Amino acid sequence: MATISDVASMAGVSTATVSRALNGKSTVDPELAARVFAAAEELGYSPNGPARNLRRQEAAVLALIISDVENPFFTAIARGVEDVAQAVGYSVVLCNSDESGDKERRYIDVAIQERVAGVILSPTSTTTNTKRLTDRGMPVVAVDRPLPDDEHDMVLVDTRMAAKEAAAHLFAQGYEQVGCITGPAGVRTADDRLAGYRDAVRSAKKRSSARLVRRTEYKAAGAKAATVGLMSQDDPPDALLVANSSMVIGVLEALDELGKQVGRDVGVVAFDDVSWAKLVDPPLSVVAQPAYEIGTVAAQLLLARIADSDRAATTTTLSARLIERGSSSRA
């Protein structure tokens, strides 16, 4: 592959001049510049990124480590990040930790080794170790889930409040025994959504009961089993708050197999306004999170910190919006 010195000798100038011409730095004689461009074109020259980054000691690349590529919530964040990054000439590399602390650690190492300019991640758990990043002065922004220490920028959603509202809505619709299916303990969004649910139970003057709560992986299969378990006990719940959109697939399947009609028999509200929410029967009531905006804000924060490492860490909390559809109505 052609190198800068190939271009230089073809154009009859020094490598320094080629570099200057191609980067539009300082002024280069127009005539020489033209020769340089012609030679570069002719040779199909494309600068060697690693070499440049090695020399410059910086790369215009951001790493985005998300916990589940197959979850539309996270891919929407990715789009937000990408749009902001592209606009200022940064590339984004997307890594899928797949809710595994191991893979997450591996990708954090890759980010360090590749010397990316900064990292945006949705921590798989509260034990996620970003120390390796911060020790090396790498800017980190956490999205969706907070990091334990407060030296990072974070972009979160007031998910506890949203969960409370959603559960309160179910009570207001006349459901008596609202249950909750949430993610694993230690995953902050799962804990918060459960806490919000409990807030609502308390406000509604209901007795909170562990019988009505199940925790599983943020996946359809676990949620399906949990729903079957929940519904097959005496005095089962007549409504369910479901903590994510993968889970609600399992929940709806289970309800269907148990012959329960959603809405009339069992009210359902789930997190995340997925594209197919209006297609199920009855249409699914959801808590819509501003995923794309989380991405854009996170990217802006990260870029700001890359530019100025002394900025104080900020936490941005966006709010979610309850969208009432048929699944949370008895009518």
Instruction: Note the residues at the interface with a second copy (CB under 8 A).
Output: 1, 44, 46-51, 53-54, 59, 69-70, 72, 75-76, 78-79, 82, 86, 91, 93-96, 103, 109-110, 112-115, 132, 135-137, 220, 246, 249, 252-253, 256, 274-276, 278-281
Please report which helix (H) or strand (E) contains residue 62, including its range: strand 61-66
Minimum CB–partner distance for residue 66 and a second copy (Å): 10
Minimum CB–partner distance for residue 39 and DNA (Å): 12
3-class DSSP assignment, residue 74: helix
Among 9, 38, 41, 51, binds DNA (CB under 7 A): 51
Among 34, 41, 48, 136, binds DNA (CB under 7 A): 48
Residue type for position 300: Q
User: CA 317, 277, 292: angle at the middle one, nearest 5?
Assistant: 35
Contact yes or no for 277/286 (Cβ under 8 A): yes
Taking residues 144 to 163 in sequence order and writing x for each that binds DNA by CB under 7 A, - otherwise, the string is --------------------
Minimum CB–partner distance for residue 10 and DNA (Å): 12
Residue found under tokens 């109505």: 329
What is the distance between the alpha carbons of residues 150 and 168, in angstroms, rounded to a whole number?
31
Specify which residues 63 forms β-bridges with: 93, 119
* Residue 13 near DNA by CB under 7 A: yes
23 binds, among DNA, a second copy, none (CB under 5 to 8 A by kind): DNA
Neighbours of 32 (CB within 10 A): 17
Minimum CB–partner distance for residue 180 and DNA (Å): 49
Minimum CB–partner distance for residue 216 and DNA (Å): 42
Residues 6+ positions from 130 with CB-CB distance below 8 Å: 108, 121, 123, 140, 142, 147, 152
Q: Give the residues lining the site for DNA (CB under 7 A).
A: 1, 3-5, 12-20, 22-23, 25-29, 31-33, 45, 47-48, 51-52, 54-57
